[in-house]
Structures are given as structure tokens and as C-alpha cells.
Amino acid sequence: MNIKNLCLWLMLSLTVSVSSYAKETAFRLSTFIKPSFQQITLEIDPDSPTFSGETTITIDVTKATDTIGFYQKDLTIQEAYLSNGDTKIPLAVTSHDYEIQHGKASQKIAANRYSLHIVFDGKFNTSSDGMYLSKFEGLNYIFTQFEDMYARRAFPSFDEPGFKIPYQMTIRSPEKHTVLSNTLVKKRTVKDGWQTVEFNKTKPMPTYLIALAVGELDSYDIPYLNVPGKIYTPKGQAQRTKFAAKHTAGILQSLENYFGSSYPYEKLDFVAVPNFTFGAMENVGLVTYRSSLLLLEDEPRLAEQGNTLNVIAHELAHMWYGNLVTMAWWDDLWLNEAFASWMASKVMMELYPEQNFKGQLVQEGAFGADASPTVKPVKKIVKSQTDVMDGLGLNYSKGESILQLIESLVGEKSFQKGIQKYMKNNAFKNAQADDLWEVLSTVAEFNVPAMMKTYLEQPSYPLIEFATNGEISQSRYHLKGSEVKEQTWIVPLSISYKKNGKVSRTNLFLDTAKTTVAELAEADWIFPNENAMGYMRWKVSPKQLAALLEDVSVLNVREKKSLLYNTQALFSAGKIELAELMTVMDTLVDDKDPMIGSAVVSTLNDFLYLVDKDNEAMFGQFAAKKLMPWFERLGVEDQPNDSTDTTRLRGAVYGILSRYANTPQVEKISAELASRYLKDPTSVPRSIATRALRNMARFSQQDWFTILRDFYIANTDANIRGTVSRAMIFTEEQQVEKALDFALSDHVSPANAITNVYVAMSSLDDKTLFYAWLDKNFDELSKKMPAFHIARMPEYFSTSCHAGNIKLAEKFYQDKKANFEGMARSYDIANYSAKLCLSLKEANQANFNRYLQQATQN
């Protein structure tokens, strides 16, 4: 899964008596009942609110029992029984915790092979999980999203990743529809306006990778594949997939070369889904994507290509990581996502160097969440779907960062050799992280399992401090004012240092709280993070930092970015004063590399929690002083020779200036860009268009809510709608309320509702209006949104830096958080984050204001 998707952990060994089901681990199915094959038949009409089906699962009962366990959710079981030859054993089905069903027989079920037959029916949902209804341009479609625990909403099954078996799907549907699943069609018959489509049997795979699509779909061939492949779209959209189709074969070839093995399945289809919660999903042979990723212009702008190419690479990497070799349980989901993200980055570096993935510091996307005292380890105990989604983003960012770190230590060729061996050993089977560490240990010169446990089986990351006498110590990094449990890590350090006028390097593993490296004593400066590969923060003396800034040209671009981000993190931790951070920023602000410019803008954005109505004008002046030289060089128009980094910097600089430094020059440019975009959305880059529209919505006297709403409704293109919805940030409360109400309308899909609400409320410093609206509309909003969004609602809506808002959130969630699984945990995270932000604001506000006054007077 992408953009987003899953994590999890460990199971207890099962000790089940011959006649009792009660002693099993509560959140897992029995280990003595094992499925080996499942046939599924579904009757699906997208124009009907209901569906029906039956399934036959071949199971081996290895110990006598009177109960067969399986999963289902929101289905009605019409009949369930076991058969063995002429023997038929009826089962009375009851529901239990964790969506486990008990099919109880009136007699003892002897150890043997049986067929488990279940007849069922259900209702399609519209919240984009399970098997769901999606409406687009007046037509109905059925799509699926089964990761992580949603296959059970479409058919009864042994819905755990450890049960990796073949499936055979048959779908009955009105003749007019295209019907898709994981494999090629074996047989299709038509009678009385209905078709019956029987698909080939799959290779062994878990339930979460099963997929289907039914509707009036069009298609476009993916060229140059060694297996059949098409991109399917809602009716009338297929010609817009040329860009994705053009690049897919090259990405797949790159992956095959890395793994040393061919794509392992019989076809490769993509589907552009108009209502999709995540970015994409790696279903075997039928990969689903948010339509915005596939429905593009024939040749998108360079900066708008990267996301699509990266997501395709991520999903295709899953065909090996996750699909060919599957986690045994959800506690190792991080491994699926981390490896797919890491592999996608390698593909992007190889095939699309112009996207400059080599310059990305992936760990910076993880450090914020991973610093919280409330964070859980990447590898954690998982019992339910909400456990899977808890801390989801760290599966991708932290996991990829750690894999990059290991590869840098082992070496690319040795690392690749280990991965190929791991894939060969576990093909079409399940594996655990320990299986991978064992293989990598054969190509590494250090204890891989021991190091990985310190990063993945405990939360957060270390702060490494260097004393002038050569002493090195580690502690757990945390923000100023928070309390954390101390930990230690096995930290690989690649250290550059200058001593007696000479730059030298040394490497070591810090595996204790303290050590001393004599050669570092009295060093002029120390930089302990070669090529910015470390997953840590670090601190040297003020004198050594000043000396490093004098020699900053010895650092490469990644290292300069890391230096700035690291210094900002030290300020947030209360380890340095604001002036020291600003000195680093001032040293780098004139760097000509656009990646450094983007890092400066990012650092400025990190101060926004200290910006309010009282100092907003001063901050705008300060930002203009720092960024106007970039703005005057870059402007707002793409140039023929622009790099991706230049384009990204242009959007970032214009974004902060148009929000906080709305000079007559910026205002005039924004009005021109907004007008041009509304006439022709292809005429302005999306990142620039959003900021121009946002500027007009904030500062213009026109009724920009009506302008943007009407434009949104008139355009069904997902990229246009995304551009417009992200611009709906208003200052006038009546327009804010209208924008919030619009999120509940049928024009906004369930998967996008949470974004529209978040954008609409983001302009409110005092969120009294928002909580009043949310209280009034909570039932309607919660019925519309996917379960994942409901559970995480506090983290989306209630992270604040305002004491009054914290009290409003406490009151609002008091009687709601216990009614939605996962919401209480999300509320605790949001509440702690808000209180910590408030504490930081109180500690830093006066000093920040003084700095702004001085900086804007000079």
C-alpha cells in the first residue's frame, strides 16, 4: 500500500484443547485449522445496494474440535456447513471479538480434510474500504480495498496474512460491465443479460491482496510488458493514462533486474479509482490507484511526474516485497512498506535522476512523529485494524531510513545479494523480519539483528552529544518539556572532523551510553553524519559549530540540509538558543542550490506555531527579507531548463510569501495566476495554482468560496479538485462554515472529505466555530468517512497550539472517543501533542518576537 499504509506485531503461541476453542489467542484464528484453497462466487450489480455470494474453503482440521473459526464483518450468513464426501455437518455461527466467527457443530468434528461452505449476502458501503460503491459522472462502480483487515467485509475467509493460499474467483454481473480480478479470465458466459466470469486460480497469496472491479470501465494497453497488462479507468478516461502506461514496463524491468527474477504473476493491470482512501494498493495483478495519479496529461510537468512514477515503483516493488514474500502477521507490515519505499527510491534514482531522489532526506519525514513520548515502536503488538494504522507513516519513512542506513553500511552489491537470497528462500511463503536480518547478517560485518532491534522494537531515536574532550554520549531525543523513558541504541557513526588544520574521518558503533574517542578531543569541528544517512540528532559545542560553518563548503548538499534540520531540532529540544539556529540558517540562505533554499523555507515553516495575529506582519517582513532574493530569481513561471528542485523551491517560496508577505507584487501575481488557472487549469502548475487561489481566498474581497465551489463542481478531474480543495482557506467565518458544509456534500468523495474539512478549519486560530460545526455534523461526517479517518480524527483536527482549543477538544471527544475503536488512542496523541506545542510556544514566544523585531528593523 502507499501513501500511506500499515504496521504491526507478534502473536502468542496457541494452546488449544481438543474440544475447546476458548483457550486460543483471542485475536487470532486457530492454528490447528488450516485452509489450503478457497473458491469465491459473488453476484454484483453496481446499481444495486446489495450483493450476495457463496464460498467453499478447503480446510484441514488437525485436532478434533466442535468449532470452526473464520472472519466476517457486516455480512449476513445464510448457511454454513462442513462437508466430507456424503457427510454434511451444519454449523451455527456466532460473532465474537475481533470479528472472529465461531461455526459450532452439534457433534465432534474429527481431524480430517473438509470443505467449509458458507452462503452470505451484504450491502455495499460507500466509505472506500472493503467492497464499496464509487460514483463517478453518473455511473456506479464497485471497487475493493482489502488491506488491512477488510476482505472479511466482502466474503467470509481466513483473513490473516499467514494463511497464504490459492483462490479462485467467479463473479456474476450485468453484461454491460467490465469485470476484473487478480488473474486472467478463464471462462465467460452470458445469459439473459447477465455474465458469469470465471477467473484463473491465483498463486498462493493472503486475502488482503485479493481485488476486483466491476463497472463500465475503459482501458488502455500497457506496452512492452512480458505479461498482459492494461490500465482501466471510469468510462471515457482511458486516453488520459498514456504517461503511466509509457513508464510502467521500464519500472518493472528495473525491479526484475534488481531482484534477479521475473515478475511473478500472470498479468499486470492498473485501475484508476475515483474514490480511494490511500494512494494506491498493490493487489496481485490488479493494482488500484487514486485516479489523480494515473489520469494525467500526456506529458505532465517535470515536477508533477515524480509522485506518479514513485507510487508506481512502490506498488510494483510490492510484487516481491509483500506479495511474493508475505509477512506472517501484521506486526511486520512495516517491512512491506519500508522495503517498497526504499526500492522505489532506488528505481527513481536509476531511471529518473532528474527527480533527484538522491537528495531526499527520508528520515526528516519520520523524526517529528518519532520524537513524541506517545509514539509506539515500528514493530509493535497488533490485535485489530486500528492497531495496524497507529503510527502508519513511520512504516514508510522510518523503515526506509533504517534500510538506507543498513545498505550504506553493508554496501550496495552485498545488500542486493542478501535481498535476492531472501526472496529465493521465501518465495510464495510467509517470512518475518528476523528471516531477513539473518540473511543480511551473512553479508554484513556487524550484528544486523541487534542493531535493528534497537531502532525498530523501541520508539524514537538517539541524540548524540560530542564533548570537546572526545567523550561521546547518547540519550533519547525529545522536545523541550516532554518526559521520556531513557533508551540506548546501537548507533553507527561516520564522523568527519578537522584537527590541526587537517580533515579526517573515523567510523564507530556507539553501543553504550558513553564512550571516548581520543582522536576527537580538541577537534576544531565535528560532523558525525556522513552523507546524512544517520537516524539520529547530534550536538557539538557552539565553538565547534561556528568552526564548521566557516568550513561549510566541505559538506555536500545532503549534509548541509541535514545540518540545518538538525540545528532546528536542537532548538526544539531546548538544547540551543534561537540565535544559534538563525546563524546556521543565515549561513545557508544564500546558497545557490535550490535544495538548500527549500530547506530554509521548511525551517521557516517550522516557526509557524509561533506566528499569530500579533506578530504575523513582522513574520511576513522577516520571510520576505530572507526569501525575496529567491522569489525575484525564480518568479512563478516554469522555465525550460528548470530542475525539479528549482520548481519545488519556486512553489515553496511563493507559498510562504503569498501567505505571510502579501506585497503588492505578490498580490498582483496571485490575481493573474488565479484568473489564468480558472480559465485553463493546464496553464499553471498545480502547486503554484493552489497557492495563488489560496491567496485570493484569503485576501480578495470577492466571494471566493462560490468561485471555488462552482469550479470544483464543474470539474470531475481529481487533480483539479485537489488543487481547488486545498485552496479553500478563508478568513471570514461565514465562508469557513460554507466550506465545511461543502465537505459533507455529494460532490466531495468520502475519501476526500477529511481533507476538505481539515483545509477549511485550518485558518481558524480559535476553533470555537469549528467544534460547534463538528458537534452539529459529527454523525453525518462519521458515516461518510472511512473507518481509518474516523479513528484518527483527533490527530487530523485537534493538534493545536492554543489553550482554548485544547479545552474545546477535551469537551468534544469526552463522550465520543470510547465509541469508535482507535479514537481514544488518537485523542491521547493529539492532546499530548497540543499541550507540548503550547508549552514550547510559551517557552519560545517572547524570544521569537524579540528576534523578529530586531531582524525587521535592520
Which among 617, 612, 567 is positioned nearest to 588, based on CA atoms? 567
Which among 52, 101, 104, 53 is positioned nearest to 82, based on CA atoms? 104
Residue 13 has pLDDT above 60, yes or no: no
Helix (H) or strand (E) holding 781: helix 768-784
For the chain, how many residues are written? Answer: 858
User: Rounded to 10 degrees, what is the CA torsion of 706, 708, 709, 710?
Assistant: 80
Residue 16 has pLDDT above 60, yes or no: no
Q: How far apart are CA 223 and CA 229, in angstroms?
A: 8
Handedness of CA 626, 691, 745, 718 (dihedral sign): negative
What pLDDT does 17 receive?
30
Q: Is 677 helix (H, G, I), strand (E, B) or coil?
A: helix
Which pLDDT tens digit goes with each residue over 259-278?
Answer: 999 999 999 999 999 989 88
Q: How far apart are CA 479 and CA 487, in angstroms?
A: 15
Mean pLDDT of 141-168: 96
Place of cell 474539512: 757
- State the Rg of the chain over Cα: 28
Cell of 797: 483536527
Residue 132 has pLDDT above 90, yes or no: yes
Residue 213 has pLDDT above 60, yes or no: yes
E strand segments, 182-285: 185-191, 194-199, 212-215, 217-221, 230-234, 269-273, 280-281
Helix (H) or strand (E) holding 425: helix 412-426
What pLDDT does 127 receive?
85
Contact by Cβ (8 Å): 490, 510: yes
What pLDDT does 2 receive?
57
Residue 204 has pLDDT above 70, yes or no: yes
Residue 804's pLDDT band, with cuts at 50, 70 and 90, is very high
How far is the CA of 648 from the CAs of 63, 537, 811, in angstroms? 61, 26, 40
Mean pLDDT of 834-856: 94
Mean pLDDT of 481-491: 94
Residue 354 has pLDDT above 80, yes or no: yes
> Which residues is 231 bridged to in the sheet?
220, 270
Cis peptide before 148 (omega within 30 of 0): yes
Which pLDDT tens digit goes with each residue over 30-78?
Answer: 999 999 999 999 999 999 999 999 999 999 999 999 999 999 999 999 9
Residue 419 has pLDDT above 60, yes or no: yes
Which pLDDT tens digit goes with each residue over 689-708?
Answer: 999 999 999 999 899 999 99
| Cβ neighbourhood burial of 97 (10 Å; 0-12, 13-18, 19+) | exposed
Q: Name, in order, each residue with C-beta under 8 angstroms of 550's C-beta and a sequence gap of 6 or more.
A: none
Q: How far apart are CA 703 and CA 701, in angstroms?
A: 7
What pLDDT does 381 receive?
87
Cell of 485: 523513558
Mean pLDDT of 92-121: 96
Which pLDDT tens digit goes with each residue over 759-803?
Answer: 999 989 899 999 999 999 999 999 999 888 999 999 999 999 999
What pLDDT does 23 receive?
41
Residue 687's pLDDT band, with cuts at 50, 70 and 90, is very high
Q: How far apart are CA 461 and CA 464, in angstroms?
A: 10
What pLDDT does 37 receive?
98
| DSSP 8-state secondary structure symbol assigned to residue 376 | P
Q: How far apart are CA 516 and CA 454, in angstroms?
A: 21
Cell of 471: 567523550
Which pLDDT tens digit goes with each residue over 587-601?
Answer: 999 899 999 999 999
Contact by Cβ (8 Å): 517, 380: no
What pLDDT does 334 receive?
87
Instruction: Give catalytic residue positions.
Output: 315
Give one word for 235, left, alpha or beta, with left for phi > 0 and alpha for psi -120 to 50. Answer: beta
What pLDDT does 384 receive?
85
Which pLDDT tens digit goes with each residue over 512-540?
Answer: 999 999 999 999 999 999 999 999 999 99
Contact by Cβ (8 Å): 628, 657: yes
What pLDDT does 5 receive?
34
Contact by Cβ (8 Å): 75, 62: no
Q: How far apart are CA 509 and CA 491, in angstroms?
A: 5
Which among 239, 179, 226, 187 is positioned nearest to 51, based on CA atoms? 179
Mean pLDDT of 159-174: 97
Contact by Cβ (8 Å): 713, 137: no
| Cβ neighbourhood burial of 353 (10 Å; 0-12, 13-18, 19+) | exposed
What pLDDT does 27 receive?
87
Q: How far apart are CA 311 and CA 327, in angstroms?
A: 21
Cell of 393: 507513516
| Cβ neighbourhood burial of 205 (10 Å; 0-12, 13-18, 19+) | buried
DSSP states of 310-336: HHHHHHHHTTTBTTTEEESSTBTHHHH
Which pLDDT tens digit goes with each residue over 664-681?
Answer: 889 999 999 999 999 999
> Which residues is 491 bridged to in the sheet?
510
Residue 823 has pLDDT above 50, yes or no: yes
Place of cell 493529539: 830
Q: Name, in order, each residue with C-beta under 8 angstroms of 26's C-beta and a sequence gap of 6 or more.
A: 97, 98, 383
What pLDDT does 315 receive?
98
Parallel, antiparallel or unpaired: strands 100-109 and 33-43? unpaired
Which pLDDT tens digit goes with each residue over 421-462?
Answer: 999 999 999 999 899 999 999 999 899 999 999 999 999 999
| DSSP 8-state secondary structure symbol assigned to residue 798 | -
| Residue 684 identity (one-letter amino acid) | V
Place of cell 467453499: 56
What pLDDT does 819 receive?
92
| DSSP 8-state secondary structure symbol assigned to residue 752 | H
Which among 116, 350, 338, 170 is positioned nearest to 252, based on CA atoms? 350
What pLDDT does 25 receive?
53
Q: How far apart are CA 455 and CA 433, in angstroms?
A: 13
Residue 642 has pLDDT above 70, yes or no: yes
Residue 21 has pLDDT above 50, yes or no: no
Which pLDDT tens digit goes with each residue over 321-345?
Answer: 999 999 999 999 888 999 999 999 9
> Measured in whole angstroms, how far is the alpha carbon of residue 695 from the centre of its chain?
28
